[in-house]
Structure 1
Amino acid sequence: MWSRSRALWASAAARFWRVAMPLARPAVAVGVSLALMETLNDIGASEFLGVRSLTVSIYTTWVTRSDLPGAAQIALAMIVLVIALVSLERWARRRQRYSITAQRARSFAPKPLKGKAAALALVLGLLPVVFGFLLPAGYLAVEAWKRFQFAGLSGKLLIEARNTTLSALATVAVLVCGLVVAFAARSYPQRGMQAVSRISTLGYAMPGTVLALGILIATAGFDFLDAQAREWLGVSTGLLLIGSGAALGYAYLARFLAISVGSVEAGLTRIPRSYDQAARTLGHSLTGTFRHVHLPLSKAAIAAAGLLVFVDCMKELSATLLLRPLNFETLATHLYGEAARGTYEEASIAALAIVVVGILPVILLARIGRNEQQG
């Protein structure tokens, strides 16, 4: 299609707007939706910069004013807003069809730039990297070094780093559930299973504060067992779900299951269905086919999903603030607390640790993408 547009003497701008953009519209829609969801979920930057977002309003209404019904009303308004925006975009492209294949997409040869065009492209590409990462990371590194020279490494940071084991456990649970959902959707491609797969990923569309609010109301109703145990048996069981961190782990599972399902599904789609048929012909069961065929061939996708989920769990702030057990601090909550007190040098080491860990999936995904292009 691209070569046909060039044969019709279409200009570069016309090819971009009439060919490239319509074909890229689904990907652009997904990217905009993800950016919107992440923006709605943000609470730290919005609060510190004085932006009165809906997420900040939910947090302050619940925690500061102790108005749980009011916070629930704002949360419902956010849910309606997210669903309306996503549905509107899907409705706008309901009659469009995208027939380009992955093989044809990889056949597009990049056009090398020279001279002023190359320099301009390089500068424009470096701007978000410099201002969005290099300068903030450099500042954090300088402040972290000053803090380390002055007082050494705080023991609290080691405890908070150890508390990230909850993120690791949640990552394992998210990966297992993502594998089950993605493989079930591949093995049973009926409309009902596809609907279940979509429903399982709705948690990512919900901001963490909204999700935490719903989980807290549900778990608080379950933790009435503590009052009943003290009344009937004279023994306190404690808050089994919130006090043990199970509620927070469930929040991670519900919120980030979409990342696991999406990554695993992307890996499974690269496996031809003829492999499934060959394995079943050789006598393997459905689980045997998954264990001997799909699992080995999708290791890269599973590893990428695990890294992405772990990093998101580690830096999740809004749900962690509201559902964490007492005296349970993570690197993200430590960073939030120090920044709220204005002691930014104390928060710099935790912030730098989050940045360093967050780079790992970026490097892995870049290498995977490069290998796919070479393949």
Structure 2
Amino acid sequence: MKPYVLKVPFERGVSFFQRAFLDRWQVATLSIAGLVLTPLGVVLFSVFSETNDVWLHFVQTSLVTLLANTFWLLLGVGVGTTFLGVSLAWLTAACDFPGRKWLDWALMLPLSLPPYVVAFVGIGLLDFTGPVQTQLRSWLGAEPLWFPKIRSTGGVIAVMTLTLYPYVYMLARNAFLTQGRRAIEAAQSLGQGRLRGFLHVALPMARPWIAGGLALVLMETLADFGTVSIFNYDTFTTAIYKAWFGLFSLSAAAQLASLLVLIVFIVLLIEQRSRSRRRFSHAGRSSVADRIPLRGGRGWLAFAYAISVLGIAFIIPVGQLSVWAFGVFQQDFDLRYLSFLGHSVFLGGAAALLTCAGALILVSANRLRNDLMTRTAVRVATLGYALPGSVLAVGIFIPLIWIDKQMIEWIQTLFGIEIGFILNGTLAAMLLAYLIRFLAVAHGAVDSAMNRITPSLDETARCLGVSGVPLLRRVYLPMLRGGLLTAALLVFVDVMKEMPITLMTRPFGWDTLSVRIFEMTSEGQWERAALPAVALVLAGFIPILLLSRYSNREP
């Protein structure tokens, strides 16, 4: 009875202070969710705004083309990445063949290449005046030589498939590692062969992971701006940019952005409904000895397939970039490139700090007070990754204009001073867009690290009188360092590669490596675009190697 009497006052005291602490974190969580909802609400509300001549022009001349191009792009990239990602994941996770150990992690390297970089490398190599067709004509002596057109729908789909398949590969590989040879053995015991066992047992069991990777691929495809602009392939992202910066109609850009958001929501709804009533479970990783041995010709055929994909998606583009960069380095490199690099690094570092801080707030609030409102606010706050960069740029620009106008009128009324825009065209607008777009990336890494902290540590800390901010500082932060570092690296590289947000919201003269690539590729100067592209590729190696290190751990 005595311990119970001593325990009640202590719990009541902790509950009082804890409730006050959690209220502050809850307000912060709701504020972050509000930041995400603001541009989304602005864009969706633009559907009901008055139409103008620019919007009518798009509806009459380009809307059907935009819808058709978007549909074929989503279909082609979805099918291509699923085929490459699933087949390569099965080979490296469930089979044993020559070179498997290093191909296991090397096949994730194309993720470090921005799609728009592979796009201009592919055009530079395979276009009519490129070295491949030129050499073939000289060898064969045929001037009207037939060659697949790289500047086509198939070319765009091929480039995006080769750069985005690692999303499906990584998740499908983790799913297959939990099955190994056991799923095939279970199918064989029922009288089915390996192929039917893979199609009817292993593949359906891995479906949630494959669907998750495919959803990321489709979101990246809808958000892409650089690749489609290099190929002159009209989609909603290029139309939004043209409406805003070419035709100077922000309202038309907002209405186009609202249609793109609706397409994003439809894609997410279809993906969620397709597996809403299904349940999947795994019993843990299988051992390396469970791999299916591929001997002789089958093993070398598997190696040839994997190395061909890696060569086309990564080795050849990086090699060609290096050749171009070396050729123009002396005459093109100057102090401007140090400025481009400095701007990119600053934006990446600042965005990484902001997103990690936001992710830490969301994860801590969800840990300390796991109620419905907090969980809902966290889910809303992580929706930004589903919004394309061009949509975010429009959704942020419109409310910031309204705030700027109110502040200008207020200052002019009180002090009689005329000033220009305060928020629009500043680094604050860029960083806000980065925070909304990439908060989900940081949240995923930090939340995974938080889930490894057992609840018993919280109880022990509270018994010792540690709660609130001291609990976060003295218990959570030391154990979250690995997750925070991973989140910072991933966001840093994503911001370095981000093109539409940077291009549409940057201050005047604030150019980055991605903006430099866009400017050079817009003029068809592939060699001069290679220097900033090489810098972006080098920046992407660290998180990719980190991902491969953790995903390669096997018991």
Calculate the TM-score normalised by the size of structure 1: 0.91
- 2:222–2:264 contact (8 Å) kept in structure 1: no
Q: Distance in 1 between matches of 2:421 and 2:491?
A: 27
Deviation at 1:330, TM superposition (A): 0.6
- 1:62–1:70 contact (8 Å) kept in structure 2: yes
Q: How does 1:26-37 map to 2 (within 5 A)?
A: 26-37=208-219
Match of 1:89 in 2: 271
Match of 2:302 in 1: 121
Identical amino acids, percent of aligned pairs = 33
Match of 2:429 in 1: 247
Match of 1:158 in 2: 338
- 2:215–2:268 contact (8 Å) kept in structure 1: yes
- 1:167–1:249 contact (8 Å) kept in structure 2: no
Match of 2:280 in 1: 98
Q: How does 1:86-235 map to 2 (within 5 A)?
A: 86-100=268-282, 104-105=284-285, 109-149=290-330, 151=331, 153-164=333-344, 165-224=346-405, 225-226=407-408, 228-230=410-412, 232-235=414-417
Match of 2:525 in 1: 343
1:316 aligns to 2:498 (yes or no):
yes
Quickly say closer, same or farther: Cα 1:112–1:273, change in 2 above 3 A. farther
- 1:141–1:348 contact (8 Å) kept in structure 2: yes
Q: Distance in 1 between matches of 2:483 and 2:274?
A: 31
Deviation at 1:145, TM superposition (A): 0.8
Letter aligned with residue 285 of structure 1: S
CA deviation string 1:163-193 (max 9, x = no partner): 1212211110001101111232233333322
What SS does the corresponding residue of 2:285 show, helix, strand or coil?
helix
Higher relative CO (Cα under 8 Å, sequence separation at least 6) belongs to 2
Quickly say closer, same or farther: Cα 1:62–1:157, change in 2 above 3 A. same
Match of 1:281 in 2: 463
Q: Distance in 1 between matches of 2:481 and 2:455?
A: 17
CA deviation string 1:123-155 (max 9, x = no partner): 222223211111111111111111113x16221
Q: Distance in 2 between matches of 1:215 and 1:262?
A: 24
CA deviation string 1:276-333 (max 9, x = no partner): 3333334321444433443333322221211110011111110111110111101100
What SS does the corresponding residue of 1:183 show, helix, strand or coil?
helix
Deviation at 1:348, TM superposition (A): 1.2
- 2:254–2:394 contact (8 Å) kept in structure 1: yes
- 1:219–1:241 contact (8 Å) kept in structure 2: yes
- 1:212–1:251 contact (8 Å) kept in structure 2: yes
Quickly say closer, same or farther: Cα 1:187–1:39, change in 2 above 3 A. same
Letter aligned with residue 189 of structure 1: N
- 1:242–1:324 contact (8 Å) kept in structure 2: no
Cα RMSD of the aligned pairs, angstroms, is 2.1
- 2:285–2:554 contact (8 Å) kept in structure 1: no
Letter aligned with residue 545 of structure 2: I
Quickly say closer, same or farther: Cα 1:5–1:197, change in 2 above 3 A. farther
Deviation at 1:5, TM superposition (A): 4.2
Runs of 4+ residues over 6 Å off in structure 1: none
- 1:280–1:286 contact (8 Å) kept in structure 2: no
Q: Distance in 2 between matches of 1:297 and 1:115?
A: 47
Q: Which runs of 5+ in 2 are unaligned?
A: 1-181
Deviation at 1:266, TM superposition (A): 1.7
Deviation at 1:359, TM superposition (A): 1.5
Letter aligned with residue 111 of structure 1: I
Quickly say closer, same or farther: Cα 1:348–1:233, change in 2 above 3 A. same
Q: Distance in 2 between matches of 1:230 and 1:367?
A: 58
* Residue 52 of structure 1, aligned match among 228, 231, 234: 234
Q: Distance in 2 between matches of 1:282 and 1:14?
A: 58
Q: Which runs of 5+ in 1 are unaligned?
A: none
Match of 1:373 in 2: 554
Quickly say closer, same or farther: Cα 1:367–1:203, change in 2 above 3 A. same
Segment drifting more, 44-53 vs 262-271: 262-271
Q: Distance in 2 between matches of 1:114 and 1:254?
A: 50
Deviation at 1:232, TM superposition (A): 4.9
Quickly say closer, same or farther: Cα 1:368–1:237, change in 2 above 3 A. farther
Q: Distance in 2 between matches of 1:125 and 1:239?
A: 53
- 1:242–1:248 contact (8 Å) kept in structure 2: no
Calculate the TM-score normalised by the size of structure 2: 0.63
State which structure, 1 or 2, has the greater radius of gyration over its C-alpha atoms. Answer: 2
Q: Distance in 2 between matches of 1:197 and 1:12?
A: 43
Q: Distance in 2 between matches of 1:115 and 1:296?
A: 50
1:356 aligns to 2:542 (yes or no):
no
Segment drifting more, 38-47 vs 293-302: 293-302
* Residue 264 of structure 1, aligned match among 420, 439, 446: 446
Q: Distance in 2 between matches of 1:7 and 1:293?
A: 50
CA deviation string 1:9-41 (max 9, x = no partner): 443233323332233222112111111111111
Aligned pair count reads: 370
Letter aligned with residue 283 of structure 1: G
Q: Distance in 1 between matches of 2:280 and 2:474?
A: 33
CA deviation string 1:183-214 (max 9, x = no partner): 32233333322221111111110110011001
Q: Distance in 1 between matches of 2:316 and 2:550?
A: 27
What SS does the corresponding residue of 1:95 show, helix, strand or coil?
coil
Quickly say closer, same or farther: Cα 1:346–1:226, change in 2 above 3 A. farther
- 2:430–2:501 contact (8 Å) kept in structure 1: yes
Segment drifting more, 110-119 vs 329-338: 110-119
- 1:203–1:254 contact (8 Å) kept in structure 2: yes
